[in-house]
Amino acid sequence: MEMRQTFSFEMDKYMAQNENIVLLNADLAKPNGLSEISEKYPERCINVGVAEQNMAGIAAGMSSYGFIPFIFTFTPFATRRICDQIAVSIAYAGQNVKIVGTDPGISAEYNGGTHMSVEDIGILRSIPNMVIFEPVDNSQLKKALVQILNFDKPLYIRMFRKELPDVFSDDYNFDLFKADIIKEGKDVTIICSGIMVQEVLEANKKLSDWGINAEIINIHTIKPIDEDTIIKSAAKTKHVITAENHNIVGGLGSAVSEVLSQRCPTILKCIGIKDSFGQVGKMPYLKQEYNMDSRSIVSAVLEILKR
Amino acid sequence: MDFKDLDIKCKKIRQDILTQIGTLGAGHIGGSFSIVELLVVLYNKHMNVDPNEPNMNGRDRLIVSKGHSGPAVYAVLCDIGYFDKSWLLTLNKPKTNLPSHCDMNKTPGIDMTTGSLGQGFSCAAGIAKASKLKKDGAKIYTIIGDGESQEGQIWEAGMFAAHHKLDNLIAFTDYNKLQLDGEVKDICGIEPIDKKWEAFGWNTVTVNNGNSCEAIDFAIKQCKEFSNGKPSMVILNTKKGYGLSFVENAGFSNHSMPISKEMFDEGMKELGGTI
């Protein structure tokens, strides 16, 4: 199932139980899978038109009245376009608004550079107390939504819209503020998020063949980051790789680097978009173009292990 | 309370604003003084609020989108009993509950955090929409600046409010014709402002003397009587710094100006207060 369908399906259940949940979008209901739910709850699903700044303010106002608004648009418009509205009307004002940005990073594909967010995590990470969550599959998204609805502060969901292979089973134990160790290992730690988890799992097949035992950690919540899991693993393996679908400046690599440099200085290599803008292309091409594919991850591991 | 009493109250409120800003030594006095009559009329004649229950459900709300007029709002909230008068001596002091710009998490009675211009107006529209969904019958009031009307977000929210038929929303433009750097008409004119709001689908009421309690009260009553499903915009032709001659005479420099001990003493004398 596509992630947007999962989101909509789950929210349908919660909206039936909780009449304070409202879904706002800025003329992107259809691409975000909100058409059906909007027909079911016409009063509580509001398309504000192409006006993201206003959408953020409407949501903040509704939150101050006891509603739990989710605002939807593509990642660049959900973050860099409305950075000040998020900072002031939502975060500083302490409003319980959930920001859902879809098509993160290279997943914007043919929408190209204007729509390809390489900076959304960096922008939101520097806003005090903002929580940033990037689901890796349907199971994680489903489990997260329960906890997100019970978390009464601003939070950003950086969501891939379409179908992703399952990483986690439905019975796995999820904690919004705890990283998931996908595989234990001892030679190198690979910390990854979002679509890069698949690339890392692919890379791991080769690494295993060559006798390299990697520890793979999925950071689904990039802020606040689970420092202890990172430190524990880095102390064990002494070598860390990060893999993210974002600029390595300001994103997961930076976040991990801040933790390691202060608590457990460790050699680190960052895989991700290396301080350049996006461009049109399908994901496989873009992964190669930005050295984010499994081969690049393998190379980085070999390099860091000096093999 | 009759209008004579309200006029007396406005003088007292201006004394309290001068006390706040004078104690600090500088502040946003011009835009605070231009909306004193509006705030006094709203809180004393129209708004359903209870200082003893600041978070009362279904209460009327006021979102001061031109958030730099905090000192005026604080003086009026204090006057009707939201907090002790001693707070007025703490404007912008460390750990104060009265920061220069309105903060809903610090000051009882403030309904939305504002300061980054244009944003409060969207929040007001969101609150008006929320009240409609809750069907609680609240009236939502909001004040924007004329300079603030240069923000695109004002017009996004304006379209939203009209489209969603938010007739529970009554907005005011503090049209004092001045902004931080000079005259609005010289920087980026907003005329014809009434026609603009009309074109955006709002009821528009123009008050020639926006510093008259009676005229403001009449305009609000008019807005409450509209039954066409539209939000209302009251254009208040005000004077920035109204009510105290040296502030008024400072022109656009009164947006934020220093208030020395001598100015404070002179001002209190003119406003009939005790020093």
Of A56, A62, A87, the CB nearest to B129: A62
pLDDT of residue A77: 98
Chain B residues lying within 8 Å of A88, measured CB to CB: 113, 115-116, 119
Chain A residues lying within 8 Å of B126, measured CB to CB: 57-62, 64-65
Q: Do B130 and A61 touch (CB under 8 A)?
A: yes
Q: Do A54 and B125 touch (CB under 8 A)?
A: yes
Write out pLDDT tens, residues B123-144.
Answer: 999 999 999 999 999 999 999 9
Domain assignments of chain A as residue spans, ordered by start:
3-159, 180-304
Residue B158 token pair: 């304006």
Does the ipTM exceed 0.85? yes
Write out pLDDT tens, residues B211-262.
Answer: 999 999 999 999 999 999 999 999 999 999 999 999 999 999 999 999 999 9
Evaluate if residue A2 carries a pLDDT over 70: yes
Q: Do A53 and B122 touch (CB under 8 A)?
A: yes
pLDDT of residue B275: 67
Burial of A13 (0-12, 13-18, 19+ CB in 10 A): exposed
- The DSSP bridge pattern shows strands B26-27 and B257-258 to be antiparallel
Evaluate if residue A307 carries a pLDDT over 80: no
Read off the pTM.
0.97
Same fold, A3-159 and A180-304: yes
**What 3-state class would DSSP assign to B116?**
coil
Instruction: Spell out the domains of chain B, with CATH numbers in brackets.
Output: 3-270 (3.40.50.970)
Topology of domain A3-159 in CATH is Rossmann fold (3.40.50)
Task: Tell me the angle at which helices A294-304 and A196-209 cross, rounded to the nearest 10 degrees.
Answer: 60
Write out pLDDT tens, residues A43-100.
Answer: 999 999 999 999 999 999 999 999 999 999 999 999 999 999 999 999 999 999 999 9
Q: Do A46 and B129 touch (CB under 8 A)?
A: yes
pLDDT bracket for residue A196 (50, 70, 90): very high
Evaluate if residue B18 carries a pLDDT over 70: yes
Domain A180-304: state its class.
alpha beta
- pLDDT: which is higher, A276 or B275: A276
Task: Tell me the angle at which helices A52-64 and B152-163 cross, rounded to the nearest 10 degrees.
Answer: 60
Is residue B22 within 8 A of residue B71, CB to CB? The reply is: no
Distance from CA of B54 to the nearest CA of A (A): 13
Q: Do B159 and A51 touch (CB under 8 A)?
A: yes
Among chain A residues, the shortest Cα distance to B134 is held by A65
Chain A residues lying within 8 Å of B129, measured CB to CB: 46, 58, 61-62
Of A54, A59, A88, the CB nearest to B115: A88
Q: Do A58 and B126 touch (CB under 8 A)?
A: yes
Chain A residues lying within 8 Å of B157, measured CB to CB: 54, 57-58
Question: For A194, which DSSP code?
Answer: T
Mean pLDDT of B79-105: 98
- Measured between alpha carbons, how far is residue A108 from residues A31, A55, A204 in Å? 12, 22, 26
